[in-house]
Amino acid sequence: MTDALTLPTRRDESWRYADLDALARVWPLADAPEHIVVPAGEAQTLLIPALEPVDGVAVRAIQAELGAGARLNVQALVSGCDYGRLSISVRLSRGSHFELGGAILGSGEQTLEIVTDVYHVEPEATSNQTVRNVLSGRATGSYIGAVRVARHAQKTDGSQSVKSMLLDRTATANAVPQLEIFADDVKCAHGATVGELDKSGLFYMAARGIPPEVAKRLMLQAFLAEAFAAAGDAGEALDAAAQAQLEAML
pLDDT tens for 40-90 read 999 999 999 999 999 999 999 999 999 999 999 999 999 999 999 999 999
Per-residue pLDDT at 15 exceeds 90: yes
For residue 15, count other CB atoms closer than 10 A to its CB.
20
pLDDT tens for 209-226 read 898 888 998 999 999 999
Range 120-147 average pLDDT:
97
pTM confidence score:
0.93
Cα 246 from chain centre? 17
Domain regions of the chain by residue span: 13-249
Give CA–CA dist 211/217, Å, rounded: 10
Average pLDDT along the chain: 93
What is the DSSP code string of 174-241? EEEEEEEE--SSEEEEEEEEEE---HHHHHHHHHTT--HHHHHHHHHHHHHHTTTGGGGGGGHHHHHH
